[in-house]
Structure 1
Amino acid sequence: MKYTMKIALSSAIALSTLSPLTSAVHAQEQHDQHALKQSSQKASNVNDNNYMDKNFDLRKRCFALVGAAEDSNLNYSSNYRSVSGDEDDGRGITAGIIGFTSGNGDMKDMLNYYNQISPNNPLSGDKDNMSHLSEDKLRKDWFNAFDHDHDNFVKAQNYEVKKECMNDAVKFAKKDGLGQLGQYIYFDALVKHGPGRDPSASMSNWSFEDLRAHAIENGIKPPSQGGDEATYLQNFVGKRYDAINAENEEAKKEGRDMDTEGTTDRLKFQINQIKKSNFDLKLPLDFNMNQTDFHLDQNKLNNFNDKDLASLN
């Protein structure tokens, strides 16, 4: 299934200052190619320990970073309870660990599975009413499910995350010969743009596999095909900027005021890690998202709940 792209955006001015990152030519002009190749020659060994389906610590890092971008909160366990509401971006009400949306299908799919494993749950009356949801009612039901049916509710969210995001992040990172940073970048793109491939999609509607297909244009190759890991990842992230710029233009024409910071901040962070050659996504990490400064180290990560992510196994 291919969902409508989920990114939300706003300021064209802010994005336009970043658009040079959006092409392979600019990526190559701005960075010394010899240094980049030296830094990524090691391109990750393909073994299960590199991937978040087996590497629990990487899974926690990825969820913490997505949480910082989605909910300004590194502690992903709290984000299962999050309800951002209707952000007037055409996607309906946004809620949950990866920002499930009532208008794009993923929230309904998650609630359908939730109902299978926990009939008569607090949200059972909402799953067939996506187009006429009351935000106040959904918020109340969502909190009730988290507070009183926690394990099943988290399991249902994780089921959808794994099916629509984590499985593809792992599969394509292996296929493209990427390390832990590349896998996080893929996971984050799947969270925000949704899975799927549509060769006829407009730039503003690119999903994950559209981004990946366009990232290998102009002779750019992933490490598995002999390409340079840093150059490839820069180009992939650059294509996300292209998609964001395109949707931003559409939003302006429609008079929509859409949030950018959670999207562009995460991309700036990703480009910065590529420049630092942090292909193993090593801690500590210091960064800013949503006008919030974050510090993530191993001790903080170790204190986050392991149980909530266990059902992704």
Structure 2
Amino acid sequence: MTRIVLIGAPAAAAVSLVLGVGLGGEDEVPLADRPQAVRQAATPAPNPLKAGSAAEQRALDERIDTLPPGLADPAKKEIAARLVASAEHSTLNWRGRYGAIEDLGDGNGYTAGIIGFCSGTNDMLQLVEAYTATHPDNGLARYLPALRQVDGTDTHEGLDPGFAAAWVAEAKKQAFRDAQDAARDRIYFDPAVRLAKMDGLGTLGQFIYYDAMLLHGPGLDEHGFYGIRRAAMQQARTAAEGGDEKVYLNAVLDASRSVMKTRLSTAQRDTSRIDTAQRVFLRDGNLDLTAPLEWQVYGETFRIPAA
């Protein structure tokens, strides 16, 4: 199950709820608007969580830096990686998926790597461009023109034959595995965790944001992560606004589930990653995402024992 699209576009300015200022409508802490119907050149998007005056930004950074690491704690981040792998790859061994690549028939072209970077949703292009900038002689560099051409589509034109084999070969190198980790963090993990902290959410809430951003992409419309967040905020207040964290997170899961049922392809509409995983942790009050954990995805049971 992979995100929808991730075409780069200018980001709107953000004002942190942590600073006590909430914005409504399209101005709510967006990353970048990446609508499926609009294809633009793949350029690094500005960081939307760095906005306002320098003094406001320093205050925000200092406030967030004083918060517990939450999902960014190495042990919790490992749990997050295993949870994602259970939904994306039906395994807990996420480190064994760097070389995975296939076309799932979901309209996103090739899906590959630890989180399912897609040739049709821009994140694969961002990954290969960043990797090539530091390793210009890598085996995927020759496919960059084709990746730019197919971005936003499901075609393999210019990629076949050879791209899949090149990906598998490159994934045997530590440098490319490190590049996948870095792209995951830069595009999805770090922004999701930071925003969740701004919304006053604990470790489970940070994971719920992260998983939703992976699945739906950081788009502003109703089908993207920020649209889902906006829909949830219309139903419940965030913890930073004085709301009940569990009530708000249930609203986020409701909104994400609704998009899965209406937006994704029929093959992707299994909502067990919410129904029998995240919702279970929330119902149990495990807001710190503390092991032992037991959950089901696609009918298969997974467990992480206590440390």
Aligned to 2:21: none
- Measured against aligned partners, the alpha-carbon deviations of 1:156-192 in whole angstroms (never above 9, x if no partner) come to 1122211211121121111111111001111111111
> Does 2:293 correspond to 1:240?
no
- Cα distance in 2 for residues equivalent to 1:96 and 1:213: 30
Q: How does 1:216-227 map to 2 (within 5 A)?
A: 216-218=233-235, 220-227=236-243
User: Which runs of structure 1 show a deviation greater than 6 angstroms over 4 or more consecutive aligned residues?
Assistant: none
Aligned to 1:101: 118
1:146 deviation in Å? 1.3
- Cα distance in 1 for residues equivalent to 2:97 and 2:269: 19
> Does 2:157 correspond to 1:157?
no
Aligned to 1:74: 92
Q: What TM-score, normalized by structure 2, do the two folds share?
A: 0.73
- Measured against aligned partners, the alpha-carbon deviations of 1:109-165 in whole angstroms (never above 9, x if no partner) come to 100011112111121122221221546622211110111x2x210121122211211
Compared CA separation, residues 94 and 76, structure 1 to 2 (3 A): same
* Partner SS state of residue 286, structure 1: strand
Aligned to 1:34: none
> Does 2:294 correspond to 1:286?
yes
Matching residue's letter, 1:52: L
> Does 2:162 correspond to 1:137?
yes
Q: Which runs of 5+ in 2 are unaligned?
A: 1-7, 9-32, 37-63, 151-156
Compared CA separation, residues 217 and 86, structure 1 to 2 (3 A): same
Moved more, 155-164 or 125-134: 125-134
Aligned to 2:267: 258
1:258 deviation in Å? 2.5
- Cα distance in 2 for residues equivalent to 1:179 and 1:189: 16
- Cα distance in 2 for residues equivalent to 1:133 and 1:296: 42
Q: How does 1:31-50 map to 2 (within 5 A)?
A: 47-50=66-69
Q: Which runs of 5+ in 1 are unaligned?
A: 6-44, 252-256, 300-313
- Cα distance in 2 for residues equivalent to 1:115 and 1:46: 32
- Cα distance in 1 for residues equivalent to 2:118 and 2:166: 15
Identical residues among aligned pairs (%): 28
8 Å contact from structure 2 (residues 188, 210) kept in 1 = yes
- Measured against aligned partners, the alpha-carbon deviations of 1:18-68 in whole angstroms (never above 9, x if no partner) come to xxxxxxxxxxxxxxxxxxxxxxxxxxx995433333x11111111110011
Compared CA separation, residues 109 and 71, structure 1 to 2 (3 A): same
1:271 deviation in Å? 1.0
- Cα distance in 1 for residues equivalent to 2:263 and 2:180: 27
1:295 deviation in Å? 1.2
1:193 deviation in Å? 1.1
* Partner SS state of residue 162, structure 2: helix
Q: How does 1:1-313 map to 2 (within 5 A)?
A: 1=8, 2-3=33-34, 47-53=66-72, 55-83=73-101, 85-130=102-147, 131=150, 132-134=157-159, 137-147=162-172, 149=173, 151-197=174-220, 201=221, 203=222, 206-218=223-235, 220-248=236-264, 251=265, 257-261=266-270, 264-268=271-275, 269-298=277-306
Compared CA separation, residues 97 and 103, structure 1 to 2 (3 A): same
- Cα distance in 2 for residues equivalent to 1:184 and 1:235: 15
Structure of greater relative contact order (alpha carbons < 8 Å, 6+ residues apart): 1
Higher helix share: 1
Matching residue's letter, 2:165: K
* Partner SS state of residue 88, structure 1: coil
- Cα distance in 2 for residues equivalent to 1:182 and 1:52: 9
CA RMSD between the two structures: 2.0
8 Å contact from structure 1 (residues 86, 94) kept in 2 = yes
